[in-house]
Amino acid sequence: MNELDNLLSYFDLENLEVNLFRGQSLDIGTGRIFGGQALSQALKAAYLTTDDHQVHSLHAYFLREGDCSKPVIYQVERARDGRTFSNRRVSAIQNGKPILILACSFQKFEQGLEHQKSMPDVPLPDQLTEKTLIPGDKIKLLSPRMRRTLTTQGPFEFRFVNDVDPFDSEAKEPIKRIWFKARYPLEADQSMHRTLLTFVSDYHLVSTATLPHGISYLDPKLQFASLDHAMWFHRPFKIDDWLLYDCDSPSASESRGFATGHVYDIEGNLVASTAQQGLMRLWDKAKD
């Protein structure tokens, strides 16, 4: 089983009862459930209660840290089923308490007026090379768990337009541009592609808010965690073809960083947009 097939196996949710599903937890090496896992599994649970619709938007709140050694229960509420739109609310539950709540809306495909923001002028992925997120001379600074997380080849290939060293203390413009795609071919199932994009959209987004402050999201003095996440899907796409993630952070305040993202395909079509807030609290653990 390759890395992508392994990830897809976590979306094979067990149907426990009507509107009730169980998903296994993926350990990416952080000791807690990755936010993208809870998001994408909750979306998959909602998909399992719909028919002939595609998700066009989702809004989620992260409520508690999830335990990656335990499965997650997903309870779906069928809020509305109309001729064109369907709406779902999903609670992701561990130990009897919600760790995430998700609201999402689905739509049957229809033609309409179109316009979009242009893709930024950046090098194409074949002009870039795949690099590790952490420079080789800095890997030794990581804990063994984080070293495994950040240096192991995953199900997606990333090519960074602007190289960002997480240990660089120089303040930078709050912009990240990253080409990415699944490492292996996928079936032409748009629901699967949108579920996988939901998973990977939690990578690199809100950490953009740390760049103007010259502090790494890996710094132990920084308490850093996702608070909420929103996505809008504009057009069909294939995640096994190159996509550009154009991330920027227009604001940080009150111990929260805010970032937005736009996802373009290789032809320059805007296929999805994202927004996320994360806790960015500087603290001295030795004093707590």
How would you write the pLDDT of the chain (288 residues) with one tens digit per residue? 799 999 999 999 999 999 999 999 988 777 789 999 999 999 999 999 998 899 999 999 999 999 999 999 999 999 999 999 999 999 999 999 999 999 999 999 999 999 999 999 999 999 998 876 655 555 565 555 555 555 455 899 999 998 767 677 788 999 999 999 999 999 999 999 999 999 999 999 999 999 999 887 777 788 888 999 999 999 999 999 999 999 999 999 999 999 999 999 999 999 999 999 999 998 765 454
Residue 202 annotated to the active site: yes
| Lookup: tokens for 36 | 């993208």
Cα angle for residues 130, 275, 93 (degrees, 5° grid): 95
Q: Which one is catalytic: 25, 37, 105, 276? A: 276
Is the pTM value of this prediction over 0.85?
yes
Q: Which CATH superfamily is domain 1-109 in?
A: Hotdog Thioesterase (3.10.129.10)
| Cβ–Cβ < 8 Å for 160, 199 | no
Torsion of CA 45, 51, 55, 58, to 10 degrees: -40
Domain(s) of CATH 3.10.129.10: residues in the chain: 1-109, 130-288
Those residues whose C-beta lies under 8 Å from the C-beta of residue 87, and which sit 6 or more positions away, are: 79, 80, 103, 104, 105, 106
* CA separation for the pair 33, 44 (Å, rounded): 16
| Cβ–Cβ < 8 Å for 210, 280 | yes
| Cβ–Cβ < 8 Å for 196, 271 | no
Residue 276 annotated to the active site: yes
Nearest to 285 by CA among 228, 223, 238: 223
Q: Which one is catalytic: 40, 41, 105, 226? A: 226
CATH of segment(s) 130-288: 3.10.129.10
